[in-house]
Amino acid sequence: MIEFRTAMWLIVAALHLAVIVRAILREGRESYARAAWLLLLIAVPVVGVILYLLFGEPWISKGFRERWRRAYEELLPFAPRSPQGADTTGFSANPFRTFEAASCWPISFGNTARLPRDSDTAIAMLVEDIDAARQSVHLSFYIWLGDNNGAKVAEAVSRAARRGVTCRIAADAIGSRALIHSERWAAMRDAGAQLCSSLQAPLGLGFLVGHRTDLRNHRKIAVIDGRVTYCGSQNCADPAFLVKRRFAPWVDILVRYEGPVARQADIIFASAWAAETGEDLRPVMAADPPQPSADGFPAIATGTGPLSPGGTMTDMFVAVLAAARVSATITTPYFAPDPPLISAIIATARRGVAVRIVFPRRNDNRIVGAISRAYYPVLTKAGVRIFEYCDGLLHAKTILVDDSLALIGSSNMDRRSLDLNFENNILFESAELAGQVRDRQNRWLGNAIEIDRDDATSRPIARRFVDNLLTMIAPLF
């Protein structure tokens, strides 16, 4: 008769082997990610199995997938159509085609935009727009704090709701949990606003609601009266960002757009809202879309997430970089790229494009910060110039190509944004707005130090060992 202890070890061994086989057999996983998980499972068997069961697969129930897919497809007919005769043959046509494939709608033309000078000004502009709203206010934030800026927006929502404006307000259940359980959240509800705690799941028990607990709604969307939209990296909070104040100020970017692109952003919001609340927003989207401006520019809003085809966000980043002829400047706080993305950055530099990447010098995520630095040698060898921003945490996610094409939104260049989180971004082509983004990036570069290529590549053996190990396990983060 087998002893109890021996039986338990056999069960553990069988489970360990079964998880390893599952990690190898799972279809749709990139080989580098499969190798990283296999390494972890072999190196730390028990811990590795637990981590794999919790985070190894972006498991989402069939019901959850179907609900979100149906909500999006039902709203697609309300996306504005491109005007006949619109010129889409410029050098940036390919990136726009990639974004069209991801969103399932065409480029919007005739958009205008304003770039606030800083985060506080952006919130002040948003509050002004909410106070001027006549029909609807749609907001979705990953992190919404009850600080000065967070309170200003919440109070503006309450004022709008009390005067009869339909306010649909979504905040991520984990990122904004403090606000959701606060009096300010209750005050918005009491004023008549409709509230949604997005992607709720008991900690560690996501299977109860059909999705992994750490799949989050990372989007930052504001749409006012269906005609004005905001998109960028900024959460609804002060730059002091009290929950992680020692990294402050948090430096963000948030662009205010008017025009047909606002309808696209509204559909991204509305599809998620309908999937979570069950409300049918087709009657709301049936209203005429915003009219294009004669002197406006082309833009396209896209929403991505764990339900997108694999590699969608990577394809979008790669397409923007592939359009670069002269220069490309990237800012991102979290950098743990997959092989296609790191290869695209290197290839862009090797073909003679002046590529610059600006990272924060102090990162609130120490592991991802270390992974970012582990890529410095291969990037600098290819000719990429790397800078580290010293004045707080540079949280802005931007790509500017040739001073005319730019991508701004919520997506980082890490696995969470590439594969796991719900994100939103806007790609636009405008020399005027791109020039403002360039000036903003140059301001950040003025507070940054450049990493010396020799220092980056001349690493001691111990450092090289750690860096190479970090790049191997990057797919886990």
Answer yes or no: are the C-beta atoms of 292 and 109 closer than 8 Å.
Answer: yes
Residue that finishes a domain, picked among 269, 299, 329? 299
Q: Are residues 198 and 155 in the same domain?
A: yes
| Band of pLDDT at residue 343, cut at 50, 70 and 90 | very high
Q: Are residues 295 and 422 in the same domain?
A: no
In a domain? residue 307: no
Q: Which of 1-10, 83-92, 303-312, 393-402 has the lowest mean pLDDT?
A: 83-92
In a domain? residue 111: yes
| Band of pLDDT at residue 28, cut at 50, 70 and 90 | low
Q: What is the pLDDT of residue 264?
A: 98
Which residues are CB-neighbours of 196 under 8 A, at least 6 positions away? 168, 169, 170, 171, 273, 276, 277
| Band of pLDDT at residue 214, cut at 50, 70 and 90 | confident
Q: Are residues 106 and 177 in the same domain?
A: yes
In a domain? residue 204: yes
pLDDT reading at 91 higher than 90? no
**C-alpha gyration radius of the chain:** 23
pLDDT reading at 374 higher than 80? yes
pLDDT reading at 1 higher than 90? no
Over residues 362-389, the mean pLDDT reads: 93
Q: What is the pLDDT of residue 84?
A: 60
Q: Which of 179-183, 245-249, 406-410, 423-427 has the lowest mean pLDDT?
A: 245-249
Q: Which of 254-268, 395-409, 450-464 has the lowest mean pLDDT?
A: 450-464
Residue that finishes a domain, picked among 234, 268, 299? 299
| Helices (H), ranges, 26-118 | 31-43, 45-55, 62-75, 93-103
Average pLDDT, the chain: 90
In a domain? residue 453: yes
| Band of pLDDT at residue 88, cut at 50, 70 and 90 | low
Q: What is the pLDDT of residue 130?
A: 98
Over residues 226-234, the mean pLDDT reads: 97
Residue 459 belongs to domain with CATH number: 3.30.870.10
How many CB atoms within 10 Å of residue 432?
Answer: 12
Q: What is the pLDDT of residue 190?
A: 98
In a domain? residue 305: no
E strand segments, 384-458: 385-389, 393-394, 398-401, 405-409, 423-429, 448-450
Give the CA distances from residue 70 to residues 55, 271, 284, 368, in Å, rounded to whole numbers and listed in that order.
Answer: 26, 9, 17, 35
Q: What is the pLDDT of residue 55?
A: 72
Q: Domain containing 333: what range?
A: 312-476
Which tops the pLDDT comparison, 47 or 389?
389
Q: Considering the chain, what percentage of its residues have pLDDT values greater than 70?
A: 93
Q: Are residues 276 and 344 in the same domain?
A: no
Over residues 424-451, the mean pLDDT reads: 97
pLDDT reading at 420 higher than 70? yes
pLDDT reading at 201 higher than 90? no
Q: Are residues 27 and 114 in the same domain?
A: no
How many CB atoms within 10 Å of residue 186?
Answer: 12
Answer yes or no: are the C-beta atoms of 238 and 146 closer than 8 Å.
Answer: no
Q: Are residues 41 and 147 in the same domain?
A: no
Q: Are residues 11 and 121 in the same domain?
A: no
pLDDT reading at 466 higher than 90? no
Give the CA distances from residue 380 to residues 3, 200, 332, 335, 385, in Å, rounded to whole numbers and listed in that order.
Answer: 58, 42, 17, 15, 6
Q: Considering the chain, what percentage of its residues have pLDDT values greater than 90?
A: 70
In a domain? residue 304: no
Q: Are residues 162 and 194 in the same domain?
A: yes
Name the pTM for this structure: 0.91
Q: Are residues 185 and 71 in the same domain?
A: yes
Which tops the pLDDT comparison, 84 or 278?
278
Closest CA to 186 of 146, 221, 220: 146
pLDDT reading at 313 higher than 90? yes
The Cα 81–Cα 84 span in angstroms is 9
Q: Are residues 355 and 443 in the same domain?
A: yes
Q: Are residues 267 and 378 in the same domain?
A: no
Q: What is the pLDDT of residues 105-121, one digit of tens each?
A: 999 999 999 999 999 99
Closest CA to 379 of 326, 333, 324, 341: 341
Q: Are residues 375 and 432 in the same domain?
A: yes
In a domain? residue 306: no
Q: What is the pLDDT of residues 137-146, one digit of tens each?
A: 999 999 999 9
The Cα 156–Cα 25 span in angstroms is 52
pLDDT reading at 182 higher than 90? yes
C-alpha atoms less than 13 angstroms from C-alpha of 393 in its C-beta half-sphere: 22
Over residues 226-255, the mean pLDDT reads: 94
Domains contained in the chain, number: 3
Residue that finishes a domain, picked among 261, 278, 299? 299
